[in-house]
Amino acid sequence: MSASSGEEAIRAWAAARRLPEPYLARWLALGPDDRTALLAAVEGLRMRAGQLIAALDLLEEISVREAQPVAAILARIEVRRILNGAGSRPGRASALLAALRAIRFPRLARATERIAREIAALGLPRGIRITPPRELASDEVRVELIAHGGEELNELLGALARHARALARIADLAAGVGWNGDEI
Amino acid sequence: MRFDLDAVYLEEEMRETPLARRVIAALAPGVPVYRVPDGRSAARADREAADPFAAGKRRMVIMRRRSRFLMGCPAASNEFACCGYLVMELASNCPMDCGYCFLQEFVADNPGFQIYANYADAFAELDRVQAGAGRPLRIGTGELADSLAFDSLTGMSRDFVRYFAGRDDLTLELKTKTDEIENLLEIDSRGRTLVSWTLSPERVFRSSEHRTAPPAARIAAARRVLEAGYRVGFHLDPIIAYEGADRDYAALLDRLFDSIPAARIEFFSLGGLRMTPGLRAAARRRFPRDPMLLGEEVLAPDGRYRAFAPLRMALYAAINGRIAKEKSKTRVYLCMENAGMHRRALGEAPPTPAVLGARLAGGN
């Protein structure tokens, strides 16, 4: 694709989806290979304008953080696997954004995953919900009990008591205590 | 420090003040001086400029301060474990240009580099505050401007160091990222002035701290003022949590302790990078290629973007651990963090602002 035809295709995509002008300008300001690679991704996954905006933000930030062009980021194995993979296009578009977010926030992604794994491993009854702080932005862990009747509530409280030590460890992790040196 | 001034605006009422005379005599040739009836208008943002904040830095305004010089630290809040700091505003804005600087938002509407020629009025305020305090106070001048960046022009530090030298219950803190200490070396501070440096690893300095002195020069300057009878402290603030930051901060502290034994350092304040959404947008607009502004910050409950809590906590603990290895009694405290973070990162509950403030001021 020539530079001018690439630009035309981007303008056409933006017009069709009413992409706001500032985002179009940022897209066109990328290098020729970068903007074309992004166009291929958004067309391939039939992304919406909002998804393009999110992807553009993440790609630009990763590019500065890692001193890598956008095209190289989109060529990474974990990204290519999504772009070329099976599954519905909307599902893959969401997966692409999640993958870019994990690249943009690598330690946050690892930390969030570890806490989620620890919570899942407890095998708590359905009526107990443990919610770590959103994006680990604070140290506040929420514990919710959803019971129907006293007997059920007693069972849930018993389960909580049996897992008290493990839950405290999860709360510690959310507060930054108990991590191994190389984990975050 | 080299000043790149486009012009100086001198408020008519201040034209015969000693400060105005000193500054104008020290200006580089060719810098125009305009007299204006009210300096406030000259300090306002030039909205036509490509970067109004940067343009403000090149426009010095010598004017009268119309409000009090002394105030509580603007960062203080009930949410945080604070240090009881008082600030004295002698100037606003700064000739240096750090990518993360909160002034980019705080003085966005009035970015002119204001210097208050009636600064001697602050002495009466200091007398009053001292009389009513009932405890030692630490008073800093480095909040809305670097304390020493313009001292080669104004010489203000000499007057303040002399004033504080005669006050046993007051400590002056001069906070800087420069190595402009020549004026200080001429004066006996009687230990009542503490000079503090903001220190960052080389990587942060190169990426974000434009026109500041390199970290090694700051450490060398600290050593010299210490030998001249001043107390010294260090602000590791903002701590930027990039990958490898823990190693870089440890190396920075190694370098510092090679030059200045921990036992001779009054305090370390630690503060993670925090940015309101407005500051973050302004900083990224001005420095779009600075990776230090693109860390793993998330929107925290206080409405500021901060490195996610476990990451911040890990860095504080690692830095505190490195300082603790020196086995000195140097105080370490966190800036703009809550008591829980303080307890977990430093291993103890924070003192009240009054207690910590008095300790930092009293030097014992």
Return the number of CB contacts < 8 Å for A and B: 72
The pLDDT assigned to B163 comes to 97
Contact B317 A61 (CB under 8 A): no
The answer as to whether B302 is a domain residue is yes
CA distance B334 to B314: 13
Could you tell me which residues are beta bridge partners of residue B97?
B210
Residue in B128, B248, B142 with CA at minimum distance from that of residue B193: B142
The answer as to whether B268 is a domain residue is yes
Contact A111 B294 (CB under 8 A): no
The pLDDT assigned to B362 comes to 80
The answer as to whether B61 is a domain residue is no
Contact A138 B309 (CB under 8 A): yes
Contact B310 A179 (CB under 8 A): yes
Residue in B243, B301, B317 closest to A138 by CB:
B301
Say how many Å lie between the first and final Cα of chain B, rounded. Answer: 34
CB A24 within 8 A of CB A10: yes
Could you tell me which residues are beta bridge partners of residue B194?
B173, B231
* Reported confidence tier of residue A1, pLDDT bands at 50, 70, 90: low
The pLDDT assigned to B75 comes to 82
The answer as to whether B50 is a domain residue is no
Least CA distance to B292: which residue of chain A?
A: A65
The alpha-carbon gap from B266 to the nearest alpha carbon of chain A, in Å, equals 28
Instruction: Express each pLDDT in B231-272 by its tens digit.
Output: 999 999 999 999 999 999 999 999 999 999 999 999 999 999
Contact B296 A106 (CB under 8 A): yes
Contacting residues for A14 by C-beta, under 8 A, at least 6 apart: A23, A24, A27, A49
The answer as to whether B9 is a domain residue is no
The answer as to whether B227 is a domain residue is yes
Residue in A67, A106, A173 closest to B310 by CB:
A173
Residue in B288, B291, B298 closest to A137 by CB:
B298
- The stretch B120-142 carries a mean pLDDT of 94
Does the structure's ipTM exceed the value 0.90? yes
Q: Is the peptide bond before A106 cis (omega within 30 degrees of 0)?
A: no
* Reported confidence tier of residue B359, pLDDT bands at 50, 70, 90: confident
CB B342 within 8 A of CB B333: yes
Instruction: Express each pLDDT in A41-70 by its tens digit.
Output: 999 999 999 999 999 999 999 999 999 999
* Reported confidence tier of residue B10, pLDDT bands at 50, 70, 90: very high
Most confident range, picked from A170-184, B64-78, B152-166: B152-166
pLDDT at B111 over 80: yes
Q: Which of B296, B297, B312 to mutate to test the interface with A (most CBs of A within 10 A)?
A: B296
The pLDDT assigned to B363 comes to 55
Residue B202: strand, helix, or coil = helix
The answer as to whether B25 is a domain residue is no
Least CA distance to B316: which residue of chain A?
A: A176
The answer as to whether B190 is a domain residue is yes
Q: Is A23 exposed, middle or buried (0-12, 13-18, 19+ CB in 10 A)?
A: middle
Contact B300 A175 (CB under 8 A): no
* Reported confidence tier of residue B81, pLDDT bands at 50, 70, 90: confident
What the block records as the tokens of B294 is: 């693109």
Could you tell me which residues are beta bridge partners of residue B322?
none
| Number of helices followed by number of strands (H, E) in chain A | 10, 2
* The total number of structural domains that make up chain B: 1
CB A136 within 8 A of CB B310: yes
The pTM for the full model equals 0.94
Q: Specify the pairing of strand B91-92 against strand B231-239.
A: unpaired
What secondary structure letter does DSSP report for A25? H
Residues of A with CB under 8 A from a CB of B: 61, 64-65, 67, 105-108, 111, 133, 135-140, 173-177, 179, 184
Range of the domain at B145: 66-360
Mean pLDDT of chain B: 95
Report the CATH number that the domain containing residue B346 is assigned in CATH. 3.80.30.30
- The stretch B174-198 carries a mean pLDDT of 97
Alpha helices in chain B (DSSP H): 18-26, 39-43, 52-57, 103-106, 121-133, 151-154, 156-165, 182-185, 202-208, 215-227, 245-259, 277-286, 309-324, 339-346, 353-362
The alpha-carbon gap from B301 to the nearest alpha carbon of chain A, in Å, equals 7
Contact B301 A137 (CB under 8 A): yes
CA distance A91 to A85: 11
Query: Distances in Å between the alpha carbon of A138 and those of A23, A173, B310?
Result: 32, 11, 9
The alpha-carbon gap from B323 to the nearest alpha carbon of chain A, in Å, equals 17
Share of chain B above pLDDT 90, in %: 90
